[in-house]
Amino acid sequence: MIGDKKIVFSGVQPSGNLTIGNYLGAIKNFSRFSEDYKTFYCVVDLHSITVRQVPAELRRRTYETLALYMACGLDEKKNTLFVQSHVPAHAELGWILDCYTMFGELSRMTQFKDKSQKHAENINAGLFTYPALMAADILLYQTDLVPVGIDQKQHLELARDVAARFNQIYGDTFTIPEGYIPTDTMKIASLAEPTSKMSKSDPNPNACVYILDSKDDIMRKFKKAVTDSDASVRYSEDKPGVSNLMTIYRAFTGKSLEEIEREFDGRGYGDFKLAVGEACADGLAPVREEFARLMADKAYLEQVMKNGADEAAYYARKTMSKVRRKIGFVN
Ligand code: AQP
């Protein structure tokens, strides 16, 4: 607790252009906590170097991710917005928690297995210990609630296990965090391969709709989206492409699945895809406009980063001094 408020922490990697998966699964939900919780939202640049990044792009995307947080409705005065590498305690606690996280636990992480396959030439130790750093991010702020998509559930459970293990050895040190996984949008699928997650690092540009895509691009991508040969707009496990489009349409319009089925009853996929594209492009238009405005003032973004890092570091220091004392490091 900070004052009488519970604590929320989440982060997004500046590892590519953010997709509507990142938006609907995570960022869009962040602002609902701004009033009643103490919120920390971080651009997790340390995580992003587990995969090779082009330095100039990483720097640009770090600004962009922060600007997107703000453009998606996160008021910098109500939320602590910052960059992970600006608060060195993340790396410090990350190392400490490496020593309380088991090799076997990390070996079971599906993200490690997936990314090792995708980046077979660079299976580095950071990719393997990524979940321990993520645990550090969360535990550093004594977080109660972590809003994430379903792909992060396994990492979050590991963070809980590591916290519980540390607490068992040293007495109460960390709050055990809970996940906040939105039931309607926890997994937005790829438009090209609807059984896989939409991922910002997917090399196929038609697989993803990016938050900053132009309306033309959005319409074109939805038109090309993989569906099936059945031609009925119906939500079903055996229709992953159509069900994914319905999920996206529901998220942008607020309509229920039944309403959507009725709306497109007897109409082909062509009409439906156009409607999904329109709803998505219209929903994102204000975000795009606000993003452009914010990116034009880099000095202000730097001020936000600095204020955020100062405030985050203050709370991080409290946890770190407790951790150091418990472990037995000389103060
Ligand atoms: N397709 C998705 N549907 C719902 N939620 C998603 N998230 C990511 N993709 C989807 C959520 O977005 C938040 C930030 O994700 P991240 O940047 O930490 O990395 P990630 O989960 O690995 O996302 P990506 O887009 O797949 O990134 P890359 O390609 O760099 O690995 C998280 O809360 C995540 O759950």
Return the domain boundaries, the chain. Answer: 6-181+297-327, 215-292
Residue of minimum CA distance from atom 34 in ligand 1? 149
Q: What is the dihedral of CA 304, 27, 11, 160, to 10 degrees?
A: 140
The conformation of residue 26, written as its DSSP 8-state character, comes to I
Give pLDDT, residue 111. Answer: 94
Give pLDDT, residue 281. Answer: 98
* Architecture of domain 215-292 in this structure: Orthogonal Bundle (1.10)
Q: Which of 27, 199, 250 has most ligand 1 atoms within 8 Å of CB, for mutation? A: 199
- What is this structure's pTM? 0.94
Q: Which of 17, 51, 152, 208 has most ligand 1 atoms within 8 Å of CB, for mutation? A: 152
200 given a catalytic annotation: yes
Q: Which residue has the tokens 């550093």?
A: 140
Q: Residue 189 C-alpha to ligand 1 middle, in angstroms?
A: 11
Alpha helices in the chain (DSSP H): 20-22, 28-30, 45-48, 55-71, 89-98, 103-107, 110-118, 125-139, 153-170, 215-224, 240-253, 257-263, 269-295, 298-327
Instruction: Determine which one of 28, 200, 221, 273 is catalytic.
Output: 200
Going residue by residue through the chain (331 aa), what tens digit of pLDDT does each one get? 999 999 999 999 999 899 999 999 999 999 999 999 999 999 999 999 999 999 999 999 999 999 999 999 999 999 999 999 999 999 999 999 999 999 999 999 999 999 999 889 999 999 999 999 999 999 999 999 999 989 999 999 999 999 999 999 999 999 999 999 988 999 999 999 999 999 998 889 899 999 999 999 999 999 999 999 888 999 999 999 999 999 999 999 999 999 999 999 989 899 999 999 999 999 999 999 999 999 999 999 999 999 999 999 999 999 999 999 999 999 8
Give pLDDT, residue 118. Answer: 87
**Amino acid at position 241, single letter:** G
Residue of minimum CA distance from atom 10 in ligand 1? 21
CA 188 to CA 303: how far, in whole Å? 33
**Residues pairing with 40 in the sheet:** 9, 80
The conformation of residue 196, written as its DSSP 8-state character, comes to S
Give pLDDT, residue 208. Answer: 96
Instruction: Determine which one of 197, 221, 239, 273 is catalytic.
Output: 197
Atom of ligand 1 nearest to the CA of 15: 30
Which residues lie below 8 Å from residue 113, measured CB to CB, with a gap of 6+?
Answer: none
Give pLDDT, residue 123. Answer: 95
Give pLDDT, residue 285. Answer: 97
Name which CATH class applies to 6-181+297-327. alpha beta
Which residues lie with the beta carbon below 6 Å from any ligand 1 atom? 12-13, 15-16, 19, 21-22, 25-26, 148-149, 151-152, 186-188, 197-201
Give pLDDT, residue 140. Answer: 98
197 given a catalytic annotation: yes
